[in-house]
A and B are shown apart, each in its own frame.
Chain A
Amino acid sequence: MINLVHNELIKLVRKKRLYVVIAILAVLVCLFTYAQMKQVESMQERLGTLDWRTELQQEITNTQNRLNSSGISDEWRGYLQIQVSQQEYYLEQDINPSAPGAPTFMRVFIENAIDLVLPLLVVVVVADLVSSESSAGTIKMLLTRPVKRWRILLSKFLTMVFSVSFIVLSMGVLSYVISGAVFGYSGWSLPILTGFAVEGEELVTTNVRLIEQWEYILMELGLSWFVGITVGAITLMLSVLMRSTAAVMGVMLAALISGAILSNMVSSWETAKYFFMVNLRVTNYISGMGAPIEGMTLGFSLMVLTVWGLVALLVAFITFTRKDVY
């Protein structure tokens, strides 16, 4: 098995997909770092101060003004209300939720990457694991060796796990290293509040705890990894089912983008919560941002993702071990 995974890793590295992923990440991080730098500058100009309390108060006032206007959807209103109550809570506790520094940038970057950027990068790497072998015909070379078919697919699965781990890790490292050059590298032990719960449109703060930022980031990385593995498993299944890498990417792209759109508009379509792509923003549960559909919790989302992932793997393995190769 080690030899098979060794083979897969060589192919992965030599196809240069991982470099592409790192390059994309690096560019994105630079982009967002620059954007945030500009934001801080303009905020400073406008408020004439660097005090985060004034800044946060200003944000709360802005949001409340928007809440009072009439042309705003119920879903969005609920989301904003939760955000305001959370910000007020931070203010009360005298904790700065966005103290500058690379770890903070990293935290926010992961939160924003988890439902689209990260899955897309996973898809880029995983989509061709099996389909490229089918379309190039090299699958015939693999399957006529004295090795059982399920072992070959298992080696591909392990390669997928490795790639996802690598992507999540480089996401962390790159966002820290690059943004640190601008915002400084300190801030690991900043206090962060977690344990918010949302009931209806109320923010429940009974279980709120203070943890240090590095713990929080570790939790986020863990969740990202889990999301990455699920998306990877589904992509691997499609890669087994389809010969064309482009088709695999297309389907996954459509699913992920529809997920991003759906989570903004499905609060009244309850059964949509069983789609994997609406459940990708699992970091929202620990930051207390509320879920797209009522009744969704961290446990529920992880459960949905697990079931999707396992079913995908089951389908992949059954198909791969039985199919006729032409």
Chain B
Amino acid sequence: MNSQPSTLVVKNLCKDIGKKNIIKNISFELKEGEVFGFLGPNGSGKTTTVRMLVGLIKPTSGEVYIYGHNLQQEFIQAIDHIGVIVENPELYPYLSGWENLEQFARMVPRIEQARLLEVVDLVGLQNRIHDTVKTYSLGMRQRLGIAQALLGNPKVLILDEPTNGLDPGGIREMREFIRTLAERDNISILVSSHLLSEIQLMCDRVAIISKGQIITVDSVEHLLAEKERVWWKLDPMSIGKTIVSEKMKIVAEHEDVLISHYDGESIANINEKLVHAGVNVHGIEIKLPTLEDLFIELTGGETID
């Protein structure tokens, strides 16, 4: 994956509003054909960053390059490679889906009629495309949004909260759609989300952002593999906890389960001690943490919803 060429390069991006630093020195790169997750709680600066990537907001400092074109200086050449949905896909409700697409197609001379039919097919809106958008469900609007983002055959697709407001079926569909686009058409896709499960399921790499800063950028597998956890189901918990904590660091404690770090070897040893001390061991399990656990650890317990 790392041998792939970079499509979108972000260097030291900062944004001040008044005296507040909203975005602090964000840098990352997107590779061809990868799905890159942008994960952070609401208000962490995801949307502001996304808006800077597509020229809606001017950064205070730092640069964005798209296929080598500086977004600030060569806006037209740079933005031409990008398809984007910022937050909800806002379309003209009084026009039909088709007319909406025509609006955007007219703004880019190289887009032809045939391409419109293609994207409509791709998102599966053939039956309703000539109805006015105000009669569309949220899921259909989201699909039309994707259709307009794909109109210009972009190399980089930026989707801000693409599954917002979709039902579980829609979310799954969207996820598969995004994977297909990346794998089949070799498009780089940046997906921002506050939903960890989503990022975990569809992204190759993820940047975790909190309070305007990137905390870590890594592949999803790698991030999770490094942080295996042991789940202890013990009774009574209080004695068990003392024994476990002698050897391993306790990460979290719930009503009937204790979660500790995993060091690879002491489990049998600890188990023996527990049994000797008369603690009932109902279960010992080595688990991969979810991104959610990771996130809380990394951000020091910042809430996420």
Contact = CB atoms under 8 A, between A and B. Distances in A.
Interface of A: 3-4, 6-7, 10-11, 14-15, 136-138, 140-148, 322, 324-326
A148 B75 contact: yes
A141 B56 contact: no
Given A140-B86, A324-B58, A326-B51, A3 B107 contact: yes
5 pairs of A and B residues whose beta carbons are closest in the complex: A137-B90, A3-B106, A325-B56, A324-B57, A146-B80
Given A4-B107, A138-B90, A326-B57, 19 more contacts: A7-B107, A10-B99, A11-B103, A14-B94, A14-B99, A136-B90, A138-B92, A140-B86, A141-B89, A143-B56, A144-B54, A144-B56, A145-B108, A146-B75, A146-B77, A148-B75, A324-B57, A325-B57, A326-B56
B94 A137 contact: no
B55 A145 contact: no
B104 A145 contact: yes
Nearest to A138: B90
B54 A6 contact: no
Interface string B71-111: 00001110110101011111111110001000110111100
Contacts of A11: 92, 95, 103
A145 B83 CA distance: 9
Contacts of B152: 146
Interface in B94-139: 94-95, 99, 103-104, 106-109
Contacts of A146: 75-77, 79-80, 107-108, 152
Interface of B: 51, 54-58, 75-77, 79-80, 82, 84, 86-95, 99, 103-104, 106-109, 148, 152
22 contacts: A3-B107, A3-B109, A4-B107, A7-B103, A10-B95, A10-B99, A11-B92, A15-B94, A136-B93, A141-B89, A144-B82, A145-B79, A145-B107, A146-B76, A146-B107, A146-B108, A146-B152, A147-B107, A148-B75, A324-B58, A326-B51, A326-B57
A249 to B, nearest CB: 19
Contacts of A143: 55-56
B86 to A, nearest CB: 5
B56 A140 contact: yes
Interface residue SS majority, chain B: loop
A187 to B, nearest CB: 42
Contacts of B55: 143-144
Contacts of A10: 95, 99, 103
Contacts of A148: 75-76
* Most chain B beta carbons < 10 A, residue from A4, A6, A10, A142: A10
A138 B84 CA distance: 12
B91 A141 contact: yes
B107 A325 contact: no
Given A324-B56, A325-B56, A325-B57, A141 B104 contact: yes
Contact of B51 (A136, A141, A322, A325): A325
Contacts of A325: 51, 56-57
Contacts of B84: 144
Contacts of B89: 141
Nearest to B75: A148
Contacts of B58: 322, 324
A268 B106 CA distance: 54
A264 to B, nearest CB: 41
Contacts of A3: 106-107, 109
Nearest to B84: A144
A324 to B, nearest CB: 4
A194 to B, nearest CB: 45
Nearest to B89: A141
A147 B87 CA distance: 21
Nearest to B109: A3
A184 B58 CA distance: 62
A137 B88 contact: yes
B216 to A, nearest CB: 27
Contacts of A147: 76, 107-108
Contacts of B88: 137
Contacts of B56: 140, 143-144, 324-326
A98 B226 CA distance: 93
B97 to A, nearest CB: 14
B85 to A, nearest CB: 9
B227 to A, nearest CB: 36
Nearest to A11: B92
A4 B55 CA distance: 20
Given A6-B106, A148-B75, A137 B87 contact: yes
Contacts of B108: 145-147
A80 B58 CA distance: 59
Nearest to B151: A145
Nearest to B54: A144
